[in-house]
Amino acid sequence: MASEAEPLEGCSVLLARSRPYGDLAQRVEALGGVLCAVAVTEQVLEPDAQAGLMAALERRGPCLLAVSSATSAELLRGCSQPAGVVVAAVGAATAAALDQVGWWAELLGPAPTGASLAEAIVAKGHTSVVVLEAAEAAGGLTGGLVAAGVEPEVIVGYRTSPRPRASLGRGELEALDRSEVAVVLAGSQVEALRVLGVSPVLVTVGERARTRAAQLGYRIERAVGVGDLEGIVEACCAVAGR
């Protein structure tokens, strides 16, 4: 008797960024699929963000710095972690990036989302908070803090261009072309896919990605919330099963 095929056997799933998204790669591979992580957009660091951030930390004294992503962590390269500053990170990938630049993340949320980290910060009783995030941040971190009565000082660390990354290599372009389904986490990623001329079925993460995908006429298999790995995998299985 032939063995039953895995739900994602032979399916190529694109994650439209280079950094891991939780354990999505392992989940896809466990079901027989292949996940290709390709950063399709350019991320541009704000030239004055590092100076502005360090000035804010010095002005506040003992406080908590919440870092939203590995890209944000790059802004800390070459700077020393001030005494009395507790660092919190959105997810293990951000914590690892902080470690690489010499900063230690003491606090992580139970899930790799901004909203989860906001809950952890509030639960620990932190009230003096600086948030380092992207201009296009979904708002889960800052919004979660504000909703709990904490007014953070927000430093915009970088912006994402909707233009495709200029350094995309041949192998990355081939991965885009063969992907049956793409997981997108930002409207700029959807715009980059359109410019590149690829049209996989999309699984959108967060409202901004869903809205832009709908505006550009992409077929959306499922729109999921930030951090909903189970929903992403279920959507990929639905596409592969057709």
Contacts of 119 (CB under 8 A, 6+ apart): 109, 110, 144, 148
CA distance 105 to 179: 35
- Per-residue model confidence as pLDDT tens digits over 86-123: 999 998 889 999 999 999 999 998 888 899 999 999 99
The number of beta carbons lying within 10 Å of the beta carbon of residue 125 is 7
| Residues above pLDDT 90, as percent of the chain | 76
Task: Give the list of residues 6+ apart from residue 178 with CB closer than 8 angstroms, or none.
Answer: 12
- How far, in Å, CA of 82 to CA of 95, rounded? 17
pLDDT for the residue numbered 2:
44
CA nearest neighbour of 87 among 151, 132, 138, 146: 132
How far is Cα 70 from Cα 96, in angstroms, rounded to an integer? 8
Higher pLDDT residue, 139 or 170? 170
Q: Which domains does the chain have, with CATH numbers?
A: 12-40+165-240 (3.40.50.10090), 43-160 (3.40.50.10090)
Give the number of C-alpha atoms closer than 13 A to the C-alpha of residue 238, restricted to the C-beta side: 13
pLDDT in tens, 187-197: 999 999 999 99
Angle between helices 207-215 and 187-196 (to 10 degrees): 30
Percent of the chain with pLDDT over 70: 98
Instruction: State the pTM of this model.
Output: 0.78
CB-CB contact of 202 with 190 (8 Å): yes
Least confident interval from 37-41, 43-47, 135-139 = 135-139
* pLDDT, the chain, mean: 92
pLDDT digits (tens, 9 = 90+) for 113-168: 899 999 999 999 999 999 999 888 767 899 999 999 999 999 999 988 878 998 99
